[in-house]
Structure formats: structure tokens, C-alpha cells
Chains A and B, each alone.
Chain A
């Protein structure tokens, strides 16, 4: 999975395909950009060729030598066995919205199966059927993404109506209360051992909603009544997963939920060539989880903007592991933490291959970005739960 790989993204799908057939795959962390090793079972080479994934065939001796090299103490490499294909759920409405979801694009392109679930399913207890849950451009604060300027658009009207109906179905007068219940149910899912991966506004709005469980931070433009004047004081940061000490934005017209997000870079840096983030390197043997999440064929990844572009470092809880940061700017792009028996990973930005994705823009064609390092970070997350059954050293 180094630069010699022709299609990094399809490789993840091929691994998933092998796992589905009961064939274990070894993930060679930090070895040639996080290569995969599998026994050459019938059909594998054809499938790899069909997916356009470059592979090398090794003899038994060469394989033994390779494994010994990877497991050697001399190198920062390790072998992690992947055994079970994770059951994947993507939290997203059935309604077609005028923006795309990078994870759905990645799963579709890599040909990894998944289910779409939403509020009723989550509240109904469906999460226990899944190992991996993804949240993308969702607004858990009940402010419909703060797209107030689009309030007369059919998709906004439909989104608002569906959300209000769902709230009513569950006995709530406000959408924000329904979303809080969903957020808390997801949090319990993580506590019980689930893997949560969130991107863009699915990250900060999730934490904001959890922290605002006993107050009202939603302006009247969205829920008909004003915010609680004591909202800041009543925020409970102990309830959120990754962030603390943040302040929500109470301006309904501001396309921003809180100061967790640093916002787009300064104008002079809003250039895909200048805007980038770097990943930290972890000990593959002692920190296999962060290592798995940061496997890549490059150390530096080009930046991308979203409603949540990057996290303010000083608002991140101390027990959260920073996986990638924007150098020199105190901004974190990618983080990981544990809660209960499970883990959560937050990845800021909307679409790794569309520097600034606007409402109504066409979806990214991933066949043009087969080696996307930014998308690899997403797909690292779907394989990481496959390694759960192996006992880790940490």
C-alpha cells in the first residue's frame, strides 16, 4: 500500500471481501504504507485484478521472512490480524440532500456493504446489530445544519418537516430534544463497545448536543423560542466525548455551531497546495489502534474545508489522542478516544478530494482519486473494528 499501489481505496474493499469469505487478512502496520497480507485462496487474484488492486505473490519462505521482519523489535512495524468483517451502519436520512457524504462515497467506491439508519432506527435499538457507526454532515443540535439561508428550498422544508414529525412521533416538541436522545443512544452504543466514526459537522454538533442536555442552545429561528440565557453556564462538558470548554454560536444566521471549529483557513492559505495536515507516527507494537487509524502512503495530507474544518486544540479533552494536526496553527484534523468499551474517531472537513464543497455541488468521482490519502483515513476506520477480537498489548 505504498506508492506502487494503483488503487488504495479499492484495496480496502478487497480486504473486506476476503473477510466476508472467512479468510483472515493480516494488516502490516507501517510496512510499505500499511500493506495487507493474505493467503492466496481461490478467486482472490481475480478479484484483486477486477478491482484494479496491485498485489505481489510471495512464496512460503518469503512470507515467513516478511512476517519475522514486521514483528521484529528493530522496526516500528507490527502485524494485526483482521478476522471479522465489521457490520457497518451509516447514520443518514433517506432524503436526498444537496451535498454528499464522504464516507458513503468511500464505501460505495470500495464496494463495502453498509446499511443506512436514522433516528427511528437508533431509538428503536438497532445499533446493537452493528460494529461500526458513521456520522457525517449531521446536526445533532437540532438546527438543521444552520442552513437558515436555504429555509425556503424544498430540501430544507422536507428536512425540517421530517425531523419535526420524527420528534412528534417520539413525544418531543422540539427536534433538538429528539436529536439529544439519538446522541445519547449512540453514546451508550459506544460505551457498550461500538466504534463511532464522525466527520464534518457530525463531530462537533454531536459533542455540543451531549453537553447541552439540560439547556436550550437553539435560536428561535429554528425552534420557535429563544436560547436559554444561562445556556453557557448550564453546558455539561462531562457529557461530551472529545471536547470541553467550548461556546456554542447563538447566531442563527452564522454557519457555525461553536468555537470548536477553527473555520476555513485564512484567505491566503485557502489553497489546496498550501493547506495540509500531518499525521503523527505511533508505535505500531504498543499503540496499534492509533497506528491502524493513521496508516497511509504519505505523511502529509492535503487539507479540505467543511462546515467543521478543524478542531481547536485547546478545547480537546486531555485523554483524547490527536492523530493528525495542521502544523503551526494549533488545529487538529483527526482525533481518537475511548469511552466505556468502545471508541470514537473524529475527522474534520467535508470531502478530502473536494477542497471546498458547496451545497448543490456534484459528488466527487472517486475513480479519479484512487490513491487519495484523505479517503484512506476514512477507510482505515472501517477495517479497524475487524481487528477487535485480537488481544492488543495496550
Chain B
């Protein structure tokens, strides 16, 4: 301690002087051992190194042996000669060399002693190796360094079990059970003893809570191994039971539960941590977000609720309100539950009401607009919100999306001119995916209106790099127009089909079926007739008329044997038989017919899946 203080004073006293004269000659590094060699020795040494690099070990050994004999105090000669011996597996010679060095040394050289044992092992003399390690241990059984050196030498040759025994013995001999925790944890993990590895990590964590991130990272790497996660949970649970006051253990346990996707149990730990500390609720809130994202809605809801109750006046409760609304929406999307959608809508609306100036307001309004438009089909409400967003946030992504949705809304309301104008402007003012979608929707407005040349013109200008869905829709529409030229200049059949498509998009399925039936009655031999008949069948199905739909799909391949829609029709037919009529045998036959009659169909793999499922169900 005294020396340390003196040194500090020196540094302090001469600090200014050193800064003033930074390049003094006596600060250059001392010469290396190699640089200290005389000319003759240096040349021979370099020659030996060249032989070693060229894997001519025998030649190198001759030179290095001479050099070592002449200057045994030179460590570089000793090291290189030992390396050369090991390279040619002359372990006995390497051991003899070490013995010689040890005999010359006046101090204990732990590394050399351990390496000597390691060389015995590599030479195949395991008893001698164990004896050498044992002797080394006995020479200083209460010295921590001895155990570490032996452990390191054993680890090098993957004597993992023996290394564990050595470190355990070290703990006992030194009477300190907290020694070698990281080393033992690593060895236990390497040998697949995950419970013991976890135990060591927990011991480490018990005495130092700041090791939590370190332990997580080490454990996280091991958890991918078979059984490791289960073992880690089991051991950590037991430890938490005996040491419930250690926050870091509970924190680790909560993390392990989440890794195992056991959010209920994780929540219990998170709440226990929350109660034990003067927390801001962030831990519970972040957990709730993670749980909702993972689909653990019930526990996510509880977590959000607990934040709301515990911190009603804090900002975090506002975040929790929004998180909860998002969770309802996620849950509704997953379960397709109208009640959940309603709940999400109410939660978003309450959020807007209670926190009118919140930075997330536009995003929340956009979500409400999407719910009104896509779920509840409340066009008035959707239009009100989307118009506000489009006006208030004109040149922002939210504003652009609102305008696109307004265009869609106009289509659904039958205002095709208005929709076309919106889409055309949006396509000019934006770029990327949204612009392509807008351009396609503009083409659709012309299609619905019966302006097929404009439709074609816009479709042909659609860029190649549009997203997959838009590109597929565009190709489909282009082919439809190419393949169905009308028989007269009025395009009445195609116009009627376009109107039926518009009705279908507007969810007017009964009217769609009716209009389609009229078209078929008037232009039953027109090339578009198969598309019309198929649309009618789909409309009947959506109109909850499965019997009629089944008949329409069933007769389709007979009426239109050359139609590209015949396989899809047959598939629908089979699905209705299976799901609505409960006729599994009939469905099996229909799926099989699809395979035999249309082997090149894109639906073949789905049909096979259904056949296998029906077969395994004993049909």
C-alpha cells in the first residue's frame, strides 16, 4: 500500500513535466530478447524459425537444441524448442526440456509444471499426467492460481470432467465456495450439465446483482442446447424460493419464463419485482408490450391494467392505454372477433377523448379510420376521420395513406370519378409501393366504369417494380381484358361484369348474384361468361347460400370445360361439401377429381393436404 501511494505522488508531482517533454529518449521500449542476441545466434535463430515455418521440424530442432544448450537462460530458445518437439509429437523430449528448465529455475513455475503434465497426457501416459497435476496441486493446495493453471491446461486438451473436479477440489481446499464460478459454469455448460451451470451462474448473481446482464448473455447462449432452458428454470425457481428477496434472481427467472414463452409465470415475477421496489411501472409496461406481441393477450391485458391502476397519474398510464387498445386490435385480428374489434375501437376513441393532444393522435385516428372502413363498414365515420387526416397531415405518410383510403371509400360508395381523381393525384405525388397501388386503383375505377381502353392504358404503364400483390392483380385484370373482347362496340357484357365486380367489392353480394344471373341470361355464350358464373358462385357463398353456391361451383367445370377457373371452382365445390354439407366422402372424391382432372393446377398441393387430412380422419 505504501509503494502504491508513493507512486501516485510521483505521477502527480511530475505530471506537468512529462507533458512538457513527451518524447524523451529514455521512454523508448527496452530491447526484446531476440534483439539482444549476438549476430551469430540471431542468424541461427532466424534460420530455425524459417525451418519451423516450412514445417522442417527436425532441422529446426537441431539448431534450437544447440542454441538452448549454449544459452539456456534465453526463454525464446526454450519456447521454440519446446514448440518444435510438440509439433513432431516428441513429447518425452519436451518433458525433458521442461524438467531441465524447472531444475534451473529458482522459483516455482506453475504454467510449466502444468504443461509438463499436459505433455504426459498427449504422449499417452495418462497416469503420469494425473500424478504430475496432483503433485502440482499438493505443492500449493491453498493457492488459487494453482487450480486455475491446472484447469486451463486440462481445458486445452478437453479434459472437461477432470477440470471440474480440480476446481471443485480447489473450493474445498481453499474453503471458499464462491471461487471459480464463471469457470465452472462454462465447464458445466460444455458438458451438458445445465442445472449445475445455472447453479453457478446464480451463485455469481447472488453476490453481485450487477452481473445480471453477464449471466443473461452467458445463459442465453447455452439455452439453445437441449434441455438447458428447462433446467435453468427449475434451478432458478428453487433458488428464488430460498432467496426471495434477491431481485436479480427474480429478474432472471422472469426472463427465463419469457424465453420459455411462459408469460403467466413471467408476469408473476415481474409483479413481485414491481411490488418490491419503487418502480416507475416501466418493467410491467414493457412486459405487457412483449406479451401482446407474442399473442399472450390475457396476461398482457393484466399487465396493462396493473400499470393503469398503479400509476394513474403518470405518463406511463397513457402509454398503457394505447398499448391496451393495440392489444385488443391484435387479438381481434387473430380471432376475427367482432367484440374484440369493438373493444379496440372504443379503446382508441377513449384514448383520443382523454388525451387529445397526444403525439400519437394521428396514428390512433388512422387506426380508427381503418377499423371503420375495413371492419365495421361504417363509411361515414371512416370518411370523417380520413378526411381530417388527409387535410391536417397533407404531405406526410399518414396523410397519403388517408387519401388512398378515401379513394377506396369513394369506390365503395360508387363515386368512381372522385375515386379516380384521388388515385391519379396520389400516384403523381407519391412514389414507391403506395404510388403503384394508387395507379392500379385508378385503373380499377376506369374498369368499373366500363372505360376499358383507359384501364388498359394505365395498366400498361404500371412499373415492373410494383409489389407482388398489386402486380398479380394488374396482370389478372390485363389478361381478363385481352381475353374477353366484346362482340359489339358497346361492350355490354364486359360492362355488366365490371358492374358486378363493383357490387361485389361493395359487399353487395345478393345484388352481385342477381346482376351476374342477368348477364348470363343475356350473354351466356360470351367469353366473359365463365368469369361471371364464377363471380356469381362466390357471391352466393358470401350471401350464405351454400346450397346454391355448391351447385354453381359444381356445374361450372361442366359448362366451361376450357375455363382457367374450372379447377378453382372444383376446389370450392369440394370445400363446401366438406365444411357446409359435412359430406367428407363427397369432398374426398371431389379433391381427388381435382388431382386427376387438373394435375397442373396451382391448387393441387392444397387438395393433397385436404385428401391426407380426410384420409387420416378415417374417411
Contact = CB atoms under 8 A, between A and B. Distances in A.
B156 interface: yes
Nearest to B594: A49
Given A164-B158, A226-B87, A229-B55, A52 B222 contact: no
Interface in A161-175: 161, 164
Nearest to A250: B55
Query: What secondary structure prevails in chain B residues at the interface with A?
Result: helix
A359 to B, nearest CB: 14
A54 interface: yes
A155 B595 CA distance: 42
B616 interface: no
Contacts of A228: 89
Contact of A226 (B89, B158, B226): B89
Given A225-B89, A226-B87, A229-B57, A154 B604 contact: no
A248 B259 CA distance: 43
Contacts of A254: none
What is the size category of the interface that chain A forms with chain B?
Answer: 20 to 34
Contact of A49 (B158, B192, B226, B596): B596
Given A50-B595, A50-B608, A367-B605, A158 B89 contact: no
B608 A52 contact: yes
Given A224-B157, A225-B122, A229-B55, A161 B191 contact: yes
B493 to A, nearest CB: 35
A161 B592 contact: no
Contact of A6 (B89, B596, B599): B599
Select the residue from B191, B221, B599, B600 with max chain A CB neighbours within 10 A.
B599
A101 to B, nearest CB: 19
Given A226-B87, A228-B89, A49 B55 contact: no
A61 interface: no
A333 B25 CA distance: 65
Interface in A1-40: 6
Given A154-B221, A158-B226, A50 B89 contact: no
Given A158-B225, A226-B87, A54 B599 contact: yes
B224 interface: yes
Contacts of B599: 6, 49, 52, 54
What is the size category of the interface that chain B forms with chain A?
Answer: 20 to 34
A328 interface: no
Nearest to B595: A49
A142 B87 CA distance: 19
Contact of A50 (B55, B157, B225, B592): B592
Given A6-B599, A49-B599, A229-B87, A161 B55 contact: no
A161 B604 CA distance: 45
A216 B122 CA distance: 13
Given A6-B599, A49-B595, A226-B89, A154 B190 contact: no
A228 B88 CA distance: 6
A298 interface: no
Interface in B127-166: 156-158
B246 interface: no
Contacts of A154: 221-222, 224-225
Nearest to B126: A173
Contacts of B459: none
Contacts of A224: 122, 156-158
A157 interface: yes
A388 B599 CA distance: 34
B611 interface: yes
Interface of B: 55, 57, 86-89, 122, 156-158, 189-192, 221-222, 224-226, 592, 595-596, 599-600, 604-605, 608, 611
Interface of A: 6, 45-46, 49-52, 54, 95, 152, 154-155, 157-158, 161, 164, 216, 224-226, 228-229, 367
Q: Which 10 A-B pairs have the closest CB atoms?
A: A224-B157, A154-B224, A49-B595, A229-B88, A49-B596, A225-B122, A226-B87, A154-B225, A158-B225, A6-B599
13 contacts: A45-B596, A46-B592, A49-B592, A52-B595, A95-B226, A155-B224, A157-B225, A216-B89, A224-B158, A225-B86, A229-B55, A229-B57, A229-B87
